Structure 1
Amino acid sequence: MSRIPSLKRLVAVRLVTVLVTACSPLVLADEGGISFWLPGQFGALAAVPTKPGWSLPVIYYHVSADESADKAFPRGGRGRVTAGVDAKADLLFAGPTYTFAEPLLGGQAALSMVAAVGRSEVEVDATLTGPRGRTISTGVSDSLKGASDLYPLATLKWNQGVHNFMVYGMGNLPVGAYDPDRLVNLGLGHASMDAGGGYTYFDKKNEFSAVAGMTYNWENTDTDYQNGIDAHLDWSASHFVTEQTHLGLVGYFYHQVTGDDGSGAVLGDFKSRVSAVGPQAGHFFTVGKELWYTNLKGFYEFDANNRAEGWNLWLTMAIPLGGGE
């Protein structure tokens, strides 16, 4: 039977998804109050070093969110503004990851490339007049099946007893399904870069993790819209009730610190924010000679402003592939 001391070195639950609008609540564009950073993607044991070699994190993500009918949101090109949005998405993320055995700056480096496939759908109560007096319509819906952008991720981790530290950087390569005239997309339509750091306390019985970062977005040239700079914090707190199973809470805070810009920002700076909290359960188990990990967590959102509010569910499987020793 695997023991907790080995877990710290063999597997770390780094929810290596980078998320994306491909998974975000409305799967539209940044100008809709949707961020490149998908809040909640980092979780339990986020900064703990892992076993060297190849691994394959696979994540199923479901989200359901809506926007009040009395609030307007920019959507896509030509100055379109919508109100009363109800959206759902089901995405499957995979992030092949290589963790280096040779130390870098005294820490452990890893590289990932994350992408998703899935389906998103949205229903809009009203599409309002744009800046050029375009059509007002009601009862509009849209859905899309396809692939997301590509999200490269790099991490560097250090361990000092029960204390673990991490820095990371990730980006968005806009190659996914995107059309500025659609109400729903699986790609952003522009490049983004996110960077930050994290900490995990892990004493073999209890863990606490927090990862903070900031996002810079380049302009979406299709819509002449540039999202502002975003700040975010993901956190996890859990207790190992057995050597293999831990239970606890997760949460996140997201806050846009600078306003949106460009001729397409017809609603002004449109700063957005949202917070969330929910339960989690994680379990380590062996398959052959390898130690796998699965985690189920859910978030209930609150305190949203200029952003959809709802709930989301993550089911993660971390699969070690070996080849690093």
Structure 2
Amino acid sequence: MQLTNHLPGAPAWPLALALTLGGPGLALAAEGGVGHYLPGGMATLIDRPPTKPGWVVEPIVLHYEGSASASRAIPIAGTLTAGLRASSDAVMLGGLYTLTQTPFGAHYSLGAYVPYVWASVTAQLDTPLGTVRRRDRAAGFGDLTLIPAMLAWQTGFWQVSATLPVYAPTGQYQQGRLANPGLNYWTFDPTLGVSYGNDKSGLNAALYLGLGMNTENPATRYHSGSTLHLDASIQQLLPVGPGFLGIGAQAFYLEQVTPDSGAGARLGGFQGRTAGVGPVLSYVLPRGTKTLVAELRWLPELDVSKRLTGDYIWLKLVCQFGK
């Protein structure tokens, strides 16, 4: 999501950044403990909703690698797997437009994000002939992220926001295939945020809380439970050359708060959890009415239950075209 950012040593000015409220589904159905929202999707100053009218364009690159123990059964696309190993690369292109009107006294933005995903998944499967090791690969467009409403209220150094990301099942999906660019169900993920940006000290902090609610996967008749996700960050901006270098950290916590259900939930109330913390490095470059921002995040998962354990690496680039 975007942001209204304050830079140290400069007058307060809005810096809109595009929102990534999530991202591609990492080629694993939520039956595999992975849903539409991914840690790091919305967490730092680059993700603050914009308060400056105009366009925001954001390309995003995401890499993930993870694995699960051979003793842990994980359902994927209607299949029970063990010893799961997965890697995924995704490129997402998105944009937001912030209106000049301020309904309810808030800056209003809307937009959309389209991902393209490359995925590879290896797992052990039980067959009538015994246990076999199988590897699936897939590449294609993932599920579209729609942002029909993003509201931001700005007061001094503080911003409060409310956003409704909607993930539509537009990505490629095939029942029984381990690697799928799409998840084949809808997710509605209302998210609230509060952030602090001090233009005098260069200190930035943010906290975002969301609840992802899923519809049933009609192919597998599997209804993944709702997921609560919390992301927090702190960053210090320092003047470097013509711009500002940001150094900080992000922590995340994601937990499935309602059990899986439906005829396809063969393991019963399958519920996953993950938490971790990692470094964040950013650079902000003001250029007249434009602002360029780049941010790199490494987010290792440190406490995991009933999910893959791995690392998220995000690269976000943002260009704001103000009026």
Q: Counterpart of 1:50?
A: 51
Secondary structure, counterpart of 1:9 in structure 2: coil
Q: Counterpart of 2:3?
A: none
Secondary structure, counterpart of 1:269 in structure 2: coil
Q: Which of 233, 241, 257 is matched with 2:238 structurally?
A: 241
Cα separation, partners in 2 of 1:223 and 1:317, compared to 1, 3 Å: same
1:188-237 residue CA offsets vs partner (Å, 9 max, x unmatched): 11111110200001112101101001011111110010001110111110
Unpaired segments ≥5 residues, structure 2: 1-5
Q: Counterpart of 2:185?
A: 190
Cα separation, partners in 2 of 1:7 and 1:36, compared to 1, 3 Å: farther
Q: C-alpha separation between the residues in 1 aligned to 2:230 and 2:90?
A: 22
What is the identity, as a one-letter code, of the residue corresponding to 1:199?
Answer: V
In the TM superposition, 1:124-163 aligns within 5 A as: 124=123, 126-128=124-126, 136-153=130-147, 154-163=149-158
Q: Counterpart of 1:207?
A: 204
What is the identity, as a one-letter code, of the residue corresponding to 2:53?
Answer: P
| Contact kept in structure 2, 1:172 and 1:193, CA below 8 Å | yes
What is the identity, as a one-letter code, of the residue corresponding to 1:139?
Answer: R
| Contact kept in structure 1, 2:211 and 2:226, CA below 8 Å | yes
Cα separation, partners in 2 of 1:61 and 1:112, compared to 1, 3 Å: same
Q: Counterpart of 1:61?
A: 62
Give the superposed CA RMSD: 1.9
Cα separation, partners in 2 of 1:48 and 1:148, compared to 1, 3 Å: closer
Percent identity, aligned pairs only, is 29
Cα shift at 1:6: 6.3
Q: C-alpha separation between the residues in 2 aligned to 1:256 and 1:8?
A: 39
Equivalent residues, number: 311
In the TM superposition, 1:281-296 aligns within 5 A as: 281-286=281-286, 290-296=290-296
Cα separation, partners in 2 of 1:253 and 1:244, compared to 1, 3 Å: same
| Contact kept in structure 1, 2:18 and 2:94, CA below 8 Å | no
Cα shift at 1:39: 1.8
1:141-186 residue CA offsets vs partner (Å, 9 max, x unmatched): 0111110111102310011101110001011111111111210111
| Contact kept in structure 2, 1:16 and 1:41, CA below 8 Å | yes
Unpaired segments ≥5 residues, structure 1: none
Pairing 1:74–2:72 present: no
Q: Counterpart of 1:16?
A: 20
Q: Counterpart of 1:278?
A: 278
| Contact kept in structure 2, 1:48 and 1:165, CA below 8 Å | no
Q: C-alpha separation between the residues in 2 aligned to 1:19 and 1:5?
A: 34
Q: C-alpha separation between the residues in 2 aligned to 1:28 and 1:289?
A: 41
Q: C-alpha separation between the residues in 2 aligned to 1:282 and 1:188?
A: 31
Cα separation, partners in 2 of 1:289 and 1:100, compared to 1, 3 Å: closer
The TM-score normalised by the length of structure 2 is: 0.91
Once structures 1 and 2 are overlaid, which stretch shifts more, 288-297 or 160-169?
288-297
Q: C-alpha separation between the residues in 2 aligned to 1:9 and 1:219?
A: 43
Q: C-alpha separation between the residues in 2 aligned to 1:74 and 1:135?
A: 20
Secondary structure, counterpart of 1:244 in structure 2: strand
| Contact kept in structure 1, 2:49 and 2:150, CA below 8 Å | no
Q: C-alpha separation between the residues in 2 aligned to 1:103 and 1:6?
A: 25
Cα separation, partners in 2 of 1:264 and 1:201, compared to 1, 3 Å: same
Q: C-alpha separation between the residues in 1 aligned to 2:287 and 2:139?
A: 33
What is the identity, as a one-letter code, of the residue corresponding to 1:306?
Answer: K
What is the identity, as a one-letter code, of the residue corresponding to 2:66?
Answer: A
Q: C-alpha separation between the residues in 1 aligned to 2:165 and 2:111?
A: 9
In the TM superposition, 1:106-121 aligns within 5 A as: 106-121=105-120
Q: C-alpha separation between the residues in 2 aligned to 1:50 and 1:158?
A: 8
Q: C-alpha separation between the residues in 2 aligned to 1:211 and 1:287?
A: 29
Cα shift at 1:11: 1.6
1:61-104 residue CA offsets vs partner (Å, 9 max, x unmatched): 00011111110001112xx2100011111100111211112111
The TM-score normalised by the length of structure 1 is: 0.90
Cα separation, partners in 2 of 1:105 and 1:121, compared to 1, 3 Å: same
| Contact kept in structure 2, 1:14 and 1:43, CA below 8 Å | no
What is the identity, as a one-letter code, of the residue corresponding to 1:211?
Answer: Y
| Contact kept in structure 2, 1:113 and 1:150, CA below 8 Å | yes
Cα shift at 1:14: 4.8
Cα shift at 1:292: 0.7
1:112-139 residue CA offsets vs partner (Å, 9 max, x unmatched): 1011113110111x1125xxxx664422
Once structures 1 and 2 are overlaid, which stretch shifts more, 284-293 or 212-221?
284-293
What is the identity, as a one-letter code, of the residue corresponding to 1:174?
Answer: P
| Contact kept in structure 1, 2:167 and 2:186, CA below 8 Å | yes
1:40-71 residue CA offsets vs partner (Å, 9 max, x unmatched): 11122244543211111111000011111110
